[in-house]
Amino acid sequence: MKSSEIPKFGPLAGVNVVCAGMATAGPFAASLMADFGGNVIFVESTLAKDSSRAAAGACWEQDRRNMRTIALNTPSPEGKEVFLKLLKDADIFIENSKGGQYAGWGLTDEVLWETNPALVIVHVSGFGQTGVPEYIKRPSWDPIGQAFGTVVAFNGTEESPMPTNPFMCDMTTALYASWGALAALFRARQTGKGESLDIAQFEVMLRGQSGEPLKAIKTGIQPKRTGQDHSFAGAYRPFKCKDGFVYIAFGGPGIMKVGLPFFGFEFGSDLFPKTIPWVQKGSEGCRLLEAKIEEYCADRTADEIDHELSALGVPVSPIMTYEAAYRNPHYQAREVFTEWERVNGEKVTGVNILPKMKNEPGQIWRGAPEYGMDNDDILEELGYTPERIKELYEKKVLAKE
């Protein structure tokens, strides 16, 4: 597919993005841009297909829609030539690999800026581009970022720490990468000078914990892992009901005022003083309230609890499965799930575009591309002749299905 065939829509129409890597942490940032009109070319390696194509390709289909792709041996001499031509008219380049990978290929930021002085370069890695060399070169996946970024120490039980699933580290890292890239692009268009972002998974995980790291450093106390419980509030956890589980978040002065009487208690009593807008974990009041809630939930379905407590004003939600979410009327009313066509014409249903924009909405115009399917069109746009493209295939600089 040629760039001239891509529909113009969304706030990122006219923004050219090149993305290279595999899996999630970097490429998902480009996926968000593609959903809002960015012209995204995804560069896969000729030596190994993106791991997102595995497991029936569900991750690939969800996260590579609206993209064109080229399978390129980037470190080869001819591959570098193609790669730099791709970047000549790009606004943003996103890559995820071990720290220093592109510099090791001779493709430093300075080399890229010689080709395109205004280019915004986004390096996404597990441990960053600078620091202790031993760490920079380490590979990383989602749970490694969570483990080194202190999230795993915070979650699970005392006997078994655990990460959050699925892909929470990767997705959050991609969000930082996308907003950082667009902020840098805003500045680059003012000055004509590019920027280089160094985004490490573990740092994103640390920053995403609000004031908890600050508090721990100040006090010298590492929070204990609390399993399903909240770190300091009681009745703020899952409760078992007749047909599954619900999550109840019992906290805030307004909620205490209406919620406590519902379960037979008084807000402002010795058990639940008005000076504390939540139920103190481990207190006698917490023990009594949670026992009442457990008894209440055991006799009701998740829907019954959801409707009754929501009407009262207590934050509550059933623990939703994918099937329950797909059939839920609020999900349906907001069109959270949508259908689009794969490049082979088959229909697929997945998660719709986020965030929702009123005036410049995103759209899905193409399913995720097959391996190397846009090689020829992209190279012809860069000025390569059919004869030269054939030579690149023969030299294994290019690959396709």
pLDDT at 226 over 90: no
Closest to 21 measured CA to CA, from 1, 48, 2: 48
How confident is the model at residue 22, as a pLDDT? 87
Other beta carbons within 10 angstroms of residue 16's beta carbon come to: 19
What average pLDDT does the chain have?
A: 96
Angle, vertex CA 195, rays to CA 194 and CA 199, nearest 5: 155
User: Coil, strand or helix: which one is 392?
Assistant: helix
Name the DSSP letter for residue 306: H
**Residue 161: is the preceding peptide bond cis (ω within 30°)?**
no
271-304 burial, b at 16+ Cβ within 10 Å, e below that, comes to: bbeeeebbbebeeebbebbbebbeebbeebebee
Fold designation for 236-327: formyl-coa transferase, domain 3 (3.30.1540)
DSSP string for 164-219:
-TTTHHHHHHHHHHHHHHHHHHHHHHHHS--EEEEEEHHHHHHHTTTTHHHHHHHH
Whether the per-residue pLDDT at 345 is higher than 80: the answer is: yes
Residue 258: its pLDDT value, please? 95
pLDDT greater than 80 at residue 56: no
Percent over 70 (pLDDT), the chain: 100
Residues in Cβ contact with 321 at an 8 Å cutoff, skipping those fewer than 6 apart? none
Determine the Cα angle at 53 with ends 84 and 345, to 5°: 100
Q: Do the bridges between strand 337-341 and strand 347-351 make them parallel or antiparallel, or are there none, so unpaired?
A: antiparallel
Cα distance from N-terminal residue to C-terminal residue, the chain: 16
Q: E strand or H helix at 90, and its extent? A: none
Name the residue ranges covered by the structural domains of the chain.
3-208+335-394, 236-327
Q: What is the pLDDT of residue 339?
A: 98
3-208+335-394: CATH homologous superfamily?
Crotonobetainyl-coa:carnitine coa-transferase; domain 1 (3.40.50.10540)
> Number of helices and strands (H, E) in the chain?
18, 11
3-208+335-394 and 236-327 agree in CATH topology: no
pLDDT mean over 122-135: 97
Residue 55 has pLDDT above 80, yes or no: no
Contacts of 355 (CB under 8 A, 6+ apart): none
- The pLDDT tens digits of the residues spanning 278-334 come to 999 999 999 999 999 999 999 999 999 999 999 999 999 999 999 999 999 999 999
Taking residue 89's Cβ as centre, other Cβ atoms within 10 Å add up to 15
Q: What is the predicted pLDDT for the residue at 115?
A: 98
In this prediction, residue 48 has a pLDDT band, given cuts at 50, 70 and 90, of confident
Residues 169 and 180: their CA atoms lie apart, in Å, by 16
Distance CA 94, CA 32 (A): 12
Percent of the chain exceeding pLDDT 90 equals: 92
Residue 170 annotated among the catalytic residues of the structure: yes
Cα separation, 132 vs 45, whole angstroms: 28
pLDDT band at 129 (very low <50, low <70, confident <90, very high): very high
Contacts of 65 (CB under 8 A, 6+ apart): 31, 34, 35, 340, 364, 366, 367, 368
CA 159 to chain centre: 29
Active-site residue, from 109, 142, 170, 229: 170
Does the structure show a pLDDT above 90 at 231? no
Average pLDDT of span 339-360:
96
* pLDDT at residue number 385: 97
54: tokens are 């595995």
**Confidence at residue 401, expressed as pLDDT on a 0 to 100 scale:** 86
DSSP of 338-349: EEEE-TTS-EEE
**Single-letter amino acid, residue 197:** L
